[in-house]
């Protein structure tokens, strides 16, 4: 059974930092692209950052130079280091694991962790 468990969310003042963790189990972690998404109240879920199975990261423009995604394949964990947080970063953050093979897509979500940035 595949599980993605997020942790590390919380309340922080603007300018502060948080590190989110996504621990995966029940899957061949190394073959998945892992992404962090977020959803603020009344808004659609958006991709924040992702790291490919080869380790290549990509970021949405609003978090570039502030957030860093990294993966620890030995421990089946992906991290999102968030610095210089802004109130507009407030959202529920979700971990996603995705792998596509011909004819099938494997797509899993964690339960989410709340990040609240106060001004």
DSSP β-bridge partners for residue 1: none
* Residue 51: both structure tokens together: 């790291």
* Residue 4: both structure tokens together: 């993605």
Q: Can you list the residues of the chain whose pLDDT is less than 50?
A: none
- Which pLDDT does position 81 carry in this prediction? 98
Compute CA distances 98 → 12, 41, 82, 84, whole Å.
30, 25, 22, 28
* Residue 79: both structure tokens together: 């991290």
- Which pLDDT does position 54 carry in this prediction? 87
- Which pLDDT does position 55 carry in this prediction? 87
């Amino acid at each position: 059974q595949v599980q993605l468990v997020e942790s590390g969310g919380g309340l922080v003042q603007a300018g502060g930092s948080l590190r989110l963790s996504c621990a995966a189990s029940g899957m061949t972690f190394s073959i998945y692209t892992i992404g962090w998404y977020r959803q603020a109240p009344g808004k659609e879920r958006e991709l924040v950052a992702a790291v490919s199975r080869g380790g290549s990261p990509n970021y949405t423009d609003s978090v570039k130079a502030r957030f860093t995604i990294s993966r620890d394949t030995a421990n089946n964990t992906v991290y999102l280091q968030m610095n210089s947080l802004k109130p507009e970063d407030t959202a529920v953050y979700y971990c996603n694991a995705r792998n596509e093979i011909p004819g099938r897509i494997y797509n899993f979500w964690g339960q989410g962790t709340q990040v609240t940035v106060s001004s």
